[in-house]
Amino acid sequence: MILHHLRNASAVVQLAEHRLLVDPMFSEPGSMPSFRFLARGGQRNPIVPLPDATEAALEGVTGVIITHEHPDHLDRPGLAWIRDRGLPVWTNAVDAANLRRKGLEVRELVDGALGMRIETVTNRHGRGLVGWLMGPVAGYYLAHPDEPSLYLVGDAVLTDAVLDAIDRLQPDVIVAPAGTANFGLGDILFSVDELVTVARRAKGVLLLNHLEAVDHCRTTRLQLRARMAAEGLADRVFVPEDGEALRFDERTGTRPEPRLTATPRPGLQKWLTAKIAGT
Ligand SMILES: [Zn+2]
pLDDT, one tens digit per residue, over 93-137 is 888 988 999 999 999 999 999 999 999 998 887 777 766 777 778
Distance 5 CA to ligand 1 centre (A): 14
Distance 253 CA to ligand 1 centre (A): 31
d(CA 182, CA 172) in angstroms, rounded, equals 29
pLDDT, one tens digit per residue, over 6-40 is 999 999 999 999 999 999 999 999 999 888 777 67
Distance 50 CA to ligand 1 centre (A): 16
pTM above 0.75, yes or no: yes
Return the CA Rg of the chain.
17
Q: Pick the more confident residue, 198 or 268.
A: 198
Least trusted range by pLDDT, from 29-33, 71-75, 82-86, 189-193: 189-193
Least trusted range by pLDDT, from 135-139, 163-167, 234-238: 135-139
- Asked if 242 and 207 touch (Cβ cutoff 8 Å), the reply is no
d(CA 242, CA 49) in angstroms, rounded, equals 9
Residue 42: CB atoms within 10 A of its CB come to 16
Q: Pick the more confident residue, 134 or 5.
A: 5
How many CA atoms within 13 Å lie on the side-chain side of 71?
23
Strand 2-7 to strand 117-123: parallel, antiparallel, or no bridges (unpaired)? unpaired
In this prediction, residue 267 carries a pLDDT of: 67
Give me the mean pLDDT over the 68-74 stretch: 90
Tell me the pLDDT band of 216, cut-offs 50, 70 and 90: confident
In this prediction, residue 17 carries a pLDDT of: 96
Distance 30 CA to ligand 1 centre (A): 17
d(CA 174, CA 241) in angstroms, rounded, equals 17
Distance 111 CA to ligand 1 centre (A): 24
Distance 73 CA to ligand 1 centre (A): 6
Distance 251 CA to ligand 1 centre (A): 28
Burial of 79 (0-12, 13-18, 19+ CB in 10 A): buried
Looking at 3.10.330.20, 3.60.15.10, 1.10.3720.10, 3.40.50.300, the CATH number of the domain 2-240 comes to 3.60.15.10
Distant-in-sequence, close-in-space partners of 132: CB < 8 Å, separation ≥ 6: 269
Distance 34 CA to ligand 1 centre (A): 13
In this prediction, residue 7 carries a pLDDT of: 97
Distance 209 CA to ligand 1 centre (A): 9
In this prediction, residue 208 carries a pLDDT of: 97
pLDDT, one tens digit per residue, over 246-269 is 999 988 777 889 988 766 666 666
In this prediction, residue 9 carries a pLDDT of: 96
Distance 35 CA to ligand 1 centre (A): 11
Distance 70 CA to ligand 1 centre (A): 7
Whether residue 156 is predicted with pLDDT greater than 90 in this model: the reply is: no
